């Protein structure tokens, strides 16, 4: 009795492994395809271009574009969690390469292995090895990257800096030296938005204070969040926050960017989706209407993240989703999406003639800089850490107590399996 039940279970699991392992890609089969992301409103144009491309080559299939507004997916990820746990996954969804994918959905066995799709499309040869590592475990490759974004960018308007007699700072010490004079003129030195944008600023400060090796050491548990260096990050962050706008919690990232564009603020640190927003939505010219540099203290470093889409186990329109993934990974898909999005292609063979001057400079840095992984956008830590870190950030924003924040961050790192006791 015992052994026949065991055999049945073995047969079932072999069958499901065969089903999952053999990803065959055909064209979409009609009906609908639900894609889920946070690319709504101002963030929408690049995704809409992809949807058009998909519907053109998969006639008869209607894309249902489910979006939940909110930068960096703060709201979308909560909705996704409810749907995934409730057995109602979208056909495919946006997820960051790295721990947001692997340490959240792959460990929970909610994703299908896409290795055979990669083999069929020859993608192992066109995506960089470091990126493939972020998408893989020893059991498979779990999503298809659509881009590479850069997190550590400082944005400004060149004409305004000239008018105010300042240059873009290359270190935080330089920033702190010019900030008081800007404040005295009624200009906000550094615009900031809601909670997650504070996390975003924090990671740029952290990699500047720690350097890329110690930054990595935080995430593989070799450097404690309570170490003097890590406490230093919070102290530096606290000094910088003194020169940000007081209404930050009520602003979206776009509104914080708008403060720079309108001359109310001198600088903003945001990922290069801000370049997409300024160039595609606001129709500003890169290099003329807006300028950029690596965030202070991070010259020569590229803090990366990658948006990807995966195939959830049990989705309703699996074939249609596979056709979507195939298009996402293609050269045409990437070169349609990225010039509008403000990101560069994840592929090594993109047509750079389609990209503006900002994106061409990002592509050069991507090839030559030291690469670090973003925290705020899912590369280095899983969702458990990220949710609790948002609370740590909130406590710091209220109290400005560096040691307390460092202690709390270490506790969160232990709970989420990053650090040991």
Q: Which residue number, 71 or 169, has a Cβ lying nearer to ligand GAL? A: 71
Q: Which stretch binds ligand GAL (CB under 6 A): 37-45, 115-123, 208-216, 225-233?
A: 37-45
Q: Which of 242, 219, 223, 221 is nearest to 231 (CA)?
A: 223
SS3 call for 93 = strand
Q: How far is the CB of 6 from ligand GAL (least distance, A)?
A: 45
Q: Minimum distance between the CB of residue 302 and ligand GAL, rounded to whole angstroms?
A: 15
CB of 263 to ligand GAL, least distance (A): 23
Distance, CA of 314 to CA of 191 (rounded, Å): 43
387, containing H or E segment = helix 383-399
Give the residue carrying structure tokens 């030195």: 189
**How far from 159 is each of 166, 255, 262, 288, 361, CA to CA, in Å?**
10, 20, 12, 8, 20
Q: How far is the CB of 151 from ligand GAL (least distance, A)?
A: 9
Decide: 32 and 64 in contact? Cβ < 8 Å.
yes
Residue 28, Cβ density class (10 Å: 0-12 exposed, 13-18 middle, ≥19 buried): buried
- Distance CA(215)–CA(219), nearest Å, equals 7
Q: Give the nearer residue to ligand GAL in terms of CB position, either 253 or 385.
A: 253
d(CA 157, CA 180): 19
Site string for ligand GAL, 179-218 (x = CB under 6 A): ----------------------------------------
Place of tokens 């603020």: 265
Considering beta carbons, is residue 73 or 169 the nearer one to ligand GAL?
A: 73
Nearest to 272 by CA among 241, 302, 236, 233: 302
- In 68-214, the DSSP E strands lie at 92-96, 136-137, 140-141, 144-145, 149-150, 153-156, 188-191
β-pairing, 61-67 vs 31-37, is parallel
Q: How far is the CB of 77 from ligand GAL (least distance, A)?
A: 10
The nearer residue to ligand GAL, 71 or 297, going by C-beta atoms, is 71
Rounded to the nearest whole angstrom, what is the least distance from the CB of residue 11 to ligand GAL in the complex?
41
Nearer to ligand GAL, 175 or 302 (CB): 302
- Binding-site string for ligand GAL from residue 276 to residue 305, where x marks contact by CB under 6 A and - marks none: -----------------------------x
Q: Residue with CB nearest ligand GAL?
A: 71
Q: Which is nearer to ligand GAL, 142 or 273 (CB)?
A: 273
Between 230 and 340, name the residue whose CB sits nearer to ligand GAL: 340
Q: Determine which helix (DSSP H) or strand (DSSP E) holds 174, and give its type and residue range.
A: helix 172-184
Q: For ligand GAL, give the closer residue by CB, 149 or 326.
A: 149
Phi and psi of 5, rounded to 5°? -65, -40
Task: Pick the piece of the chain touching ligand GAL (CB under 6 A) from 36-44, 132-140, 222-230, 309-317.
Answer: 36-44
Number of residues forming the site for ligand GAL (CB under 6 A): 13
Find the shortest distance in angstroms from Cβ 305 to ligand GAL: 6
Residue 307 binds to ligand GAL (criterion: CB under 6 A):
yes
Rank residues 305 and 321 by Cβ distance to ligand GAL and give the closer one.
Answer: 305
Tokens 């209607």, residue? 62
| Residue spans of alpha helices (H) in 249-305 | 253-261, 273-276
Picking from 165, 123, 114, the residue whose alpha carbon sits closest to that of residue 313 is: 114
Residues between 43 and 102 with contacts to ligand GAL, criterion CB under 6 A: 43, 71-73
Beta bridge partner(s), residue 93: 36, 310
Tokens 């960051």 correspond to 96
CB of 32 to ligand GAL, least distance (A): 24
For residue 373, the minimal CB distance to ligand GAL (Å) is 13
H-run or E-run covering 199: helix 195-219
Stretch 250-279 residues interacting with ligand GAL (CB under 6 A):
253, 271, 273
Identify which of residues 369 and 374 has a Cβ nearer to ligand GAL in the complex: 374
Nearest residue (CB) to ligand GAL, 169 versus 271: 271
Binding residues for ligand GAL, rule: CB under 6 A, are: 38-39, 43, 71-73, 149, 253, 271, 273, 305, 307, 377
């Amino acid at each position: 009795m015992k052994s026949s039940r065991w055999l049945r279970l073995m047969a079932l699991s072999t069958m499901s492994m065969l089903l999952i392992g053999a990803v065959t890609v055909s064209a979409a089969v009609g009906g609908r395809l639900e894609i889920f992301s946070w690319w709504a409103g101002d963030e929408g144009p690049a995704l809409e271009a992809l949807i058009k491309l998909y519907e053109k080559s998969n006639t008869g299939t209607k894309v249902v574009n489910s979006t939940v507004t909110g930068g960096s997916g703060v709201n979308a990820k909560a909705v996704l969690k409810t749907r995934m746990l409730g057995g109602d996954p979208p056909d495919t969804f946006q997820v960051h390469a790295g721990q947001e994918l692997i340490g959240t959905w792959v460990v929970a066995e909610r994703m299908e292995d896409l290795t055979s799709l990669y083999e069929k499309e020859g993608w192992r040869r066109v995506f960089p090895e470091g990126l493939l590592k972020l998408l893989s475990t020893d059991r498979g490759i779990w999503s298809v990257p659509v881009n590479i974004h850069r997190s550590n960018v400082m944005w400004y308007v060149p004409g305004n800096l000239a008018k105010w007699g300042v240059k873009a700072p290359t270190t935080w010490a330089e920033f702190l030296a010019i900030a008081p004079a800007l404040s005295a003129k009624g200009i906000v030195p550094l615009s900031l938005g809601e909670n997650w944008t504070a996390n975003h600023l924090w990671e740029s400060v952290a990699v500047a204070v720690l350097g890329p090796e110690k930054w990595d050491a935080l995430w593989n548990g070799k450097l404690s969040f309570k170490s003097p260096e890590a406490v230093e990050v919070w102290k530096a962050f606290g000094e910088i926050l003194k020169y940000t706008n007081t209404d930050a919690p009520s602003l979206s990232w776009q509104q914080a960017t708008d403060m720079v564009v309108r001359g109310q603020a001198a600088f903003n640190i945001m990922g290069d989706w801000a370049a997409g927003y300024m160039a595609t939505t606001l129709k500003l010219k890169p290099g003329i209407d807006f300028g950029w540099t690596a965030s202070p203290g991070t010259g020569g470093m590229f803090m990366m993240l990658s948006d990807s889409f995966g195939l959830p186990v049990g989705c309703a329109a699996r074939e249609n989703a596979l056709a979507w993934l195939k298009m996402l990974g293609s050269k045409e898909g990437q070169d349609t999406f990225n010039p509008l999005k403000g990101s560069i292609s994840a592929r090594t063979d993109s047509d750079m003639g389609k990209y503006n001057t900002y994106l061409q400079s990002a592509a050069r840095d991507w090839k030559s800089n030291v690469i670090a992984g973003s925290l705020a956008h899912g590369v280095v830590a899983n969702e458990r850490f990220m949710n609790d870190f948002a609370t740590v950030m909130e406590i710091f924003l209220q109290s400005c107590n560096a040691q307390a924040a460092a202690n709390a961050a270490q506790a969160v790192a232990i709970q989420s399996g990053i650090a040991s006791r």
